[in-house]
Structure 1
C-alpha cells in the first residue's frame, strides 16, 4: 500500500525536505496584474519573483486556490494512479477556500477513481482524506513534518494518520512578523484580515513598530508590537525557547523568510537559537517563504511555528 501526502504551495518547507519525502503539490495561482502564474515553491523562481514583483506596491497581486475541477483532475489523472492512500493537508480554511475545494473534489474523486485505476491496470481500492491544518505557512510545515515521520518512519496505519495529525492542529502556534505593514493592511485585508488597522499602520510605519501576528486554531491576531524587525524576530524566538523548555509535542521548529534564508542564518539571534535548539534536542528547518505567503505579508517577512505541549489540566 503506497501512501502519499499532498500539500498546497503555502506550506513553508525546504525544497530538499519536499523532494526527500516525495510530497505532492497543489499549486496556488498567483494573479499578478494581468498575468496568472503558479506558485510551485521552486526556490529560485520564488527569489526571482520577489525581485520582479513584490517591490512594486502599486501592482495588483492576489492568490487563488485550485478550483474543485482542477483538484479533481489532478487526482484522477495522476495521484489516484500513483498512490493507494492519500492525505491532503491544506492551509487554514479561514484563510483560503483550498480546504473546501479539496473536500468537494474528494467526493467526485472517490466516485470515479475505480474506472481510472482499472483502465490503468491498477487493482485495489483508493482512499483520500482531507485535513484542515487550521494554520498557515510554517504552521502547516510542522504538521506535514510530523505526518511524514508517522507515515514513513513509524509506519502508522493510514486510518490512524489523519486523526493523529488532526489532534495536533489544536496546538500549532504559527508566528509571523511583516517587515512592511503595507502588505498586511492593503493586500491581506482583501481576504478579511483586519490584524493591522489604519491608525496602527501609520503609527507603525512612523515608529518602525512591527506587529507579531499569531495564527492559532483558524484565527489570526496581533499578540504583540515590537520596535524594529530584528527585535520582533528575537521576541518570536524567545517565545519558542519558552515553549521548548515546557516541552513541545514534536521536536521541530519550522521557520521561513521572504527572501534569501542566508540573511537570517547569518544573524547572531539565529545562531543563538540554533544552539539552544541543539542543546534541547529540537530540530529546526528554515525555508524560503512561499510567494503565496509573501504576497500577503510582503518581502522580508519572517515566520516561525511549532506544536506546543499540552497544558497540565488537559
Structure 2
C-alpha cells in the first residue's frame, strides 16, 4: 500500500526535505499588482520574489485557492495514479478556502477514479482524506513532518487518520510579524478583523514587535518587545528551553520571510540549533514561501513545535 501526503503551498518546509519525502504540493495562486503567479513552493522562484520586492507593502498582493475543478484534475493526474491512499493536509479552514475546495474535489475524485487507475495499471481501490490542519505556515510544516513519520510506521489508514487529527491539537506556534500595519491591511481585505487598527498603530508608531503564541492558528500576544531582534531572541530561547524539556515529535519547524543571509544572522538561532542537536531533534529551517509571506508580511517569522500543555513564559 503506497501512501501519499499532499500539502498546500501555505505549508513551510525545507525544499530538500519535501523532495526527499516526495511531498506533493497543492499550488496556490498569488495575484500581485494584477499579475497572476502560481506558487508551487519552488525555492528559486521564491528567492526571485524576495529579491524583486514584489512582496513588500505598496504592492497589491492576495492569494487565491485553486478551484475544486483545478484540484480535481491535479488529484486525478498526480495522486490517483501514483498512490493507494492519499492524505491532503490543508492550511486552517478558518483562513482559506483550500480545505473546502479540496474536499469538494476529493468527493468528485472518489466517484470517478476507477478508470484513471485502470489506465495507469494500478490495481485495487483508492482512498483519500482531506484534513484541516488547523495550522499555518511552520505549524503546517510540523504536522506534515510528523505525518511522514507516522506513515513510515505503516499504521492502518484509519489509525493514521486519527493520529494525525489528534496530534494537531498539540502544536504550538510562535509568530513574529515584522509589520502589524501590513497584517491589518491584508486582514481587512480578507474581512478578517483579528488585528485591530489600534494594535497596528501602536506597533508602527512605538516600534512594538509582539510575539503571537498559541495552539495552532489561534494565537494571542505573549510578549511585547521594542525590536524585532529582541522578539526573535525570546522565541529562540523559548524553543531551545522547550526542546530541552521534551517534545512530542522530534522536529522544530522554523520559517522566515528573510534572505538566507539574514536568517543565518538571527539572534539565538545557533543556540536553538545546538539544543536540537543535543536532544536528537531535527530543525526544519526554511525560507517562508510566497503564500505565507503575502499573508503575514515579508520579514516575519513563524516557529512551531509539539509539546505537552504549557505557556510561552514558562520557558523564558
C-alpha RMSD of matched pairs (Å) = 1.8
Rounded to whole Å, the distance in 1 between the matches of 2:224 and 2:259 is: 25
Rounded to whole Å, the distance in 2 between the matches of 1:29 and 1:110 is: 25
In the TM superposition, residue 2 of structure 1 has moved relative to its aligned partner by 1.3
Structure 2 spans left out of the alignment, 5+ residues = 311-316
**Aligned residue in 1 for 2:169:** 170
**Aligned residue in 1 for 2:29:** 29
Rounded to whole Å, the distance in 1 between the matches of 2:37 and 2:80 is: 25
SS in 2 for 1:82: coil
Rounded to whole Å, the distance in 2 between the matches of 1:130 and 1:93 is: 11
Q: Larger deviation: 90-99 or 190-199? A: 190-199
**Aligned residue in 1 for 2:105:** 105
SS in 1 for 2:59: coil
**Aligned residue in 1 for 2:314:** none
> Could you tell me the TM-score, scaled by structure 2's length?
0.92
SS in 2 for 1:113: helix
Cα gap change, 1:230 to 1:268, in 2 (>3 Å): closer
**Aligned residue in 1 for 2:313:** none
The correspondence of residues 76-91 of structure 1 with structure 2, limited to 5 A, is 76-91=76-91
Rounded to whole Å, the distance in 2 between the matches of 1:255 and 1:218 is: 15
In the TM superposition, residue 300 of structure 1 has moved relative to its aligned partner by 1.1
Rounded to whole Å, the distance in 2 between the matches of 1:189 and 1:222 is: 19
Q: Larger deviation: 274-283 or 50-59? A: 50-59
In the TM superposition, residue 129 of structure 1 has moved relative to its aligned partner by 0.8
In the TM superposition, residue 35 of structure 1 has moved relative to its aligned partner by 0.9
Cα gap change, 1:8 to 1:180, in 2 (>3 Å): same
SS in 2 for 1:37: strand
**Aligned residue in 2 for 1:117:** 117
SS in 2 for 1:259: coil
User: Does 2:251 match 1:249?
Assistant: no
Q: Is the 8 A contact 1:139 1:174 kept in 2?
A: yes
In the TM superposition, residue 219 of structure 1 has moved relative to its aligned partner by 2.3
Rounded to whole Å, the distance in 1 between the matches of 2:119 and 2:276 is: 51
**Aligned residue in 1 for 2:306:** 307
Structure 1 spans left out of the alignment, 5+ residues = none
In the TM superposition, residue 215 of structure 1 has moved relative to its aligned partner by 5.4
User: Does 2:201 match 1:202?
Assistant: yes
User: Does 2:76 match 1:61?
Assistant: no
In the TM superposition, residue 162 of structure 1 has moved relative to its aligned partner by 1.5
**Aligned residue in 2 for 1:134:** 134
Q: Larger deviation: 60-69 or 184-193? A: 184-193
Q: Is the 8 A contact 1:172 1:216 kept in 2?
A: yes
In the TM superposition, residue 53 of structure 1 has moved relative to its aligned partner by 4.1
Rounded to whole Å, the distance in 2 between the matches of 1:126 and 1:283 is: 32
In the TM superposition, residue 209 of structure 1 has moved relative to its aligned partner by 0.8
In the TM superposition, residue 100 of structure 1 has moved relative to its aligned partner by 1.2
The correspondence of residues 145-184 of structure 1 with structure 2, limited to 5 A, is 145-152=145-152, 154-184=153-183
In the TM superposition, residue 265 of structure 1 has moved relative to its aligned partner by 2.2
Rounded to whole Å, the distance in 2 between the matches of 1:192 and 1:214 is: 22
Q: Is the 8 A contact 2:181 2:203 kept in 1?
A: no
In the TM superposition, residue 55 of structure 1 has moved relative to its aligned partner by 5.4
**Number of aligned residue pairs:** 310
SS in 2 for 1:95: coil
Q: Is the 8 A contact 2:176 2:211 kept in 1?
A: yes
> Could you tell me the TM-score, scaled by structure 1's length?
0.93
Q: Once the two structures are superposed, what CA deviation does each residue of 1:200-238 show, in whole Å capped at 9, x if it has no partner?
A: 222211221112223525524333321100111111122
